[in-house]
């Protein structure tokens, strides 16, 4: 694991955008795995800026989102399709036919087959080159809640009470928060060639420490990321504040700067 601790949210977002820019400039037909939520918002703003300044082009890029609420359609202002359009896709030069987000408005009988198709489409795109991840307060990645199988694939899932509570900030009433979602599985996520994990703020500190330094357990789904061979953990001082090996990570970062190549 490559752990980079930055001063604040802005610095994390800038570093994340630099990593994406370098990758896309090397491989113009990169397949990106995208997340929603509060954490990547500043990163997406930065990517829009870089695209406007012609420092990056998304013309040949494909994207796959981690998840979508189930039970709302794509024009709903809280749908993740709407989020991606308004925060990124409508402002960059991407072909929106190359942006994939699970459909949240299918009949329940259609879901299993649709999820298989989503997985197949990822494979046909050559797999995900770089997956952006955030972490939920309960340790979830995508909507793989505590107890999810490490081998899970894209499927219909139920959201935990804590996730419903956490996400109620985006809705006028907690009763409006969907109870279900379609989510890539942990097995799907682990197949990404590279992962960029982002977390910011004091309220993520304890769960980040459990995920990075605790035992690998399905009760903290993000803990499985310890097994990924090419993962960059990009966190700010506050989110890093419960890490036992905080000074070790900084020491290794200095070594990385000295040798001039990423150390995973
Ligand atoms: C969103 C997603 C979730 C979020 C997580 C953190 O597509 O998959 O796992 O990354 O809930 O959300 P924020 O960033 O709002 O704290």
Report which DSSP code applies to 20: H
- For residue range 5-60, what is the model confidence (pLDDT) as tens digits? 999 999 999 999 999 999 999 999 999 999 999 999 999 999 999 999 999 999 99
- On whether the CB atoms of residues 158 and 222 are closer than 8 A, the answer is no
Distance CA(117)–CA(233), nearest Å, equals 30
Q: What's the distance, Cα to Cα, between the start and end of the chain in Å?
A: 5
Which residues are tagged catalytic?
Answer: 67, 138, 140, 145
**Domains identified in the chain and CATH numbers:** 2-259 (3.40.50.1360)
> Ligand 1: which residue has its CA nearest to atom 1?
36
- Residue entry with tokens 């009760």: 219
142 lines ligand 1 (CB under 6 A): yes
CB of 221 sitting under 6 A from ligand 1: no
User: pLDDT per residue over 129-178, tens digit each?
Assistant: 999 999 999 999 999 999 999 999 999 999 999 999 999 999 999 999 99
DSSP characters for 199-216?
Answer: E-SGGGHHHHHHHHHS--
Residue 103 to residue 111: CA distance in whole angstroms: 9
pLDDT in tens, 183-237: 999 999 999 999 999 999 999 999 999 999 999 999 999 999 999 999 999 999 9
């Amino acid at each position: 694991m490559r752990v980079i601790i930055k001063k604040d949210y802005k610095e994390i977002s800038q570093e994340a955008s630099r990593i994406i820019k370098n990758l896309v400039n090397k491989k113009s037909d990169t397949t990106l795995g995208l997340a929603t939520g509060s954490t990547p918002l500043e990163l997406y703003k930065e990517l829009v800026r870089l695209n406007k300044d012609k420092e990056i082009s998304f013309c040949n890029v494909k994207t796959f989102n981690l998840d979508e609420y189930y039970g709302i359609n794509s024009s709903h202002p809280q749908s993740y399709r709407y989020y991606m359009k308004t925060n990124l896709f409508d402002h960059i030069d991407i072909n929106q036919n190359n942006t994939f987000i699970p459909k949240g408005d299918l009949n329940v009988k259609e879901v299993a087959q649709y999820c298989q198709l989503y997985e197949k489409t990822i494979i046909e795109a050559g797999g995900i080159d770089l997956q952006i991840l955030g972490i939920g307060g309960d340790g979830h990645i995508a909507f793989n809640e505590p107890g999810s199988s490490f081998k899970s694939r894209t499927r219909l899932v139920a959201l935990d009470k804590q996730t419903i509570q956490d996400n109620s900030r985006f809705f006028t009433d907690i009763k409006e928060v969907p109870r279900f979602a379609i989510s890539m599985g942990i097995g799907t996520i682990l197949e990404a060639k590279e992962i960029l994990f982002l977390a910011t703020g004091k309220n993520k500190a304890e769960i980040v420490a459990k995920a990075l330094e605790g035992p690998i357990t399905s009760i903290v789904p993000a803990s499985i990321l310890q097994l990924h061979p090419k993962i960059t953990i990009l966190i700010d001082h506050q989110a890093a504040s419960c890490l036992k090996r905080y000074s070790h990570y900084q020491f290794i970062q200095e070594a990385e700067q000295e040798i001039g190549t990423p150390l995973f």
